[in-house]
Amino acid sequence: MAFFDPVEQRICIRIVYDGIACAGKTTNLKMLSSLFTTQRATELYSPGELDGRTLYFDWAQIMAGSVCGVPLMCQVISVPGQLVLTPRRRHLLTLADAVVFVSDSASSGAERGRAAMRLLDDIAADRELPILVQANKQDQGDALSGTALLERLERSGLPVIEAIATEGIGVIDTFVNAVRLASLALTQEHDLGNLRLPVVRAASAEDLLERLNREELDPEWAAEMLLEEAETALLLAGASIASAPRGASRGRGTSGPPAPSADVPAGFIWPAHTGRAVVRALGEGTQLAQPIIERAGGLFEQACPDHIVSTSLDARFEKREEARQALVRAARERTQLGALLVPGTVLVAQPGIDESWWVWTIMPRVTSLAETLAVRPLDASRVLDAYAVAVVDALRASLLHGLTLDLGPASFGEHDAALRYVGPVAGSSSVEATATLQAALEGLAAALASTGLDITPFHDAFDRELHRQLTRDEVARIAGALRSSVDAGALRARIEAGLARGAEEPEQPGQPESRFSSATEASALQP
């Protein structure tokens, strides 16, 4: 938020450049620093990079303009665009007086940009936040116009500047208009007599870096970031992660899969730094020396006591690059599970003796919820409540990311006093989405009926969480998937009744991000 610096005798505002990785945020700031004189702008400060990608932020300070007759000092900050650095991105965006959302103008960039703007929506819901879109990379052959990009981003009505940041085109215009947006907001507050600015010394880039280093960050961020960069490179090369081959059938004479090992090439294990250590530790023991058992449906497993180590014919690939793309896609799908992912999950693309490649999944062995319910626990109602929360979390991930997940109790298990997803993960196309969702919900209904338990606690919690975590449109999509179902009547009735109630109540803005309520997480799975 804006404040008055008594030393500089200026009002300080922060212009934050946001956007997906590789959109051109850092390029904008580099150009700004070079286009202003040294008397008016500091040198660009970038405290950390990995292969040219921003890890913390880029920072410059520019003395330009005035508001309400007082000179301005603009701190210009770009955020890291990688998904795994979202905590840093969120922190930096909360400092903004205006946001420049830098978007790649290509169609693929626009699609990824639309997803990235959800965090902006979350932050802007709490306060008025001026947003300007920069349609960057207009020199690409398939570049959308500024107006078309706004439509693709579903942000028609926002101001937009077309730019080619590498050539300096549109860079100054973007900055000046962002400053005007922030200044206008201050002027309006001043005219209403509501402008009250804190009087504090402006923090330096080093101060900001120290604050970010205190933020908690997923220790696997570096591996995740490399996978994101691999996905981006494939998209730029015209390859589609979603359409990459899922696997090839094993022909006559094809050998079975080799056991996973820690000595695969870089980029063929996820997470890179922790995954290799997990596989190495398993290899040093006897777990990966166990025989590989072929099961029905083309599945292969190693009989490891502490871990589930599995692959399948669908995870077999003829070419090295196909296997790498599949690993990137599988890592992305598991990352999209969020808190449902079992900690310690590892993916390995292992070469075979016949030059094929197999993608293995390794995860700690957990007791499945089906096994827990089979012994009819005394606290079954609390377990069913937690199960419903996890199912709605899985539905939310499915709707947001196009995942196909099994919702039966055999696909969930307890790990660290929380329910995790241990079932199969796959992507689904928009054409398949309704059918796969219906199948998953019908399977859930059948599994619940087969427990022989009173499943009222599940239905009550499912109803509660469905409308707490999902939007009305998302609930309607689930109801639509069950419209023709005769095997999930109780679930369908709950959803339709909830929709009828929701039509009479105003929708609450914003949905909780937590996987469990604190009470459920703390007690539902413990005696």
Find the farthest-apart pair of alpha carbons in the chain and give their distance in angstroms, rounded.
82
Helix (H) or strand (E) holding 100, with range, is: strand 98-104
pLDDT given at position 205: 64
pLDDT given at position 22: 80
Q: Which two tokens stand for residue 463?
A: 């109803």
Bridge partners, residue 11, by sequence? 4, 72
Name the CATH superfamily for 3-213: P-loop containing nucleotide triphosphate hydrolases (3.40.50.300)
pLDDT given at position 354: 83
The answer to whether 274 touches 343, Cβ cutoff 8 Å, is no
pLDDT given at position 422: 95
Handedness of CA 465, 471, 474, 476 (dihedral sign): positive
pLDDT given at position 484: 64
Q: Which two tokens stand for residue 158?
A: 């926002």
Peptide bond into 271 cis (omega under 30): yes
pLDDT given at position 401: 82
- CA–CA separation, 24 and 8 (whole Å): 31
Q: Give the 3-state secondary structure of residue 108.
A: helix
pLDDT given at position 513: 35
Q: Over the range 184-208, which residues count as b (16 or more CB within 10 Å of their CB) and which as e?
A: ebbeebeeeeebebeeeebbebeeb
Q: Over the range 450-484, which residues count as b (16 or more CB within 10 Å of their CB) and which as e?
A: ebebebebbbebbbbbbbebbbeebbebbbebbee
pLDDT given at position 478: 84
Residue 402 backbone phi and psi in degrees, to 5: 70, 40
Listing DSSP states for 456-477 in one string gives: HHHHHHHHHHHHHHS-HHHHHH
- CA–CA separation, 120 and 99 (whole Å): 9
pTM of the model: 0.54
Residue 209, Cα to own-chain centre: how many angstroms? 23
The answer to whether 51 touches 63, Cβ cutoff 8 Å, is no
Handedness of CA 271, 274, 278, 280 (dihedral sign): positive
Bridge partners, residue 10, by sequence? 5
Phi-psi sector, 485: left (phi>0), alpha (psi -120 to 50), beta: beta
Mind listing the pLDDT tens digit for each residue in 443-490?
Answer: 998 999 898 899 899 999 998 998 888 888 888 888 887 776 656 666
C-alpha distances in Å from residue 179, one per residue of 13, 80, 174, 238: 8, 21, 9, 37
The answer to whether 392 touches 469, Cβ cutoff 8 Å, is yes
- CA–CA separation, 444 and 487 (whole Å): 10
- Closest residue by Cα to residue 282 from 269, 294, 293: 269
pLDDT given at position 244: 43
**63 CB-near residues (< 8 Å, 6+ apart):** 10, 39, 40, 41, 71, 72, 73, 74
Q: Which one-letter DSSP state was computed for residue 199?
A: B
| Positions in the chain short of pLDDT 70 | 37-43, 45-57, 81-88, 91, 119, 123-126, 141, 204-255, 266, 272-273, 285-287, 428-432, 484-492, 494, 496-527
Mind listing the pLDDT tens digit for each residue in 98-109?
Answer: 999 999 988 777
Residue 59 backbone phi and psi in degrees, to 5: -140, 135
**76 CB-near residues (< 8 Å, 6+ apart):** 14, 15, 17, 29, 32, 59, 60, 61, 62, 175
pLDDT given at position 37: 63
Half-sphere exposure of 357 (CA within 13 A, CB side): 23
Question: What's the helix, strand, coil split of the chain in %, to 5?
Answer: 45, 20, 35
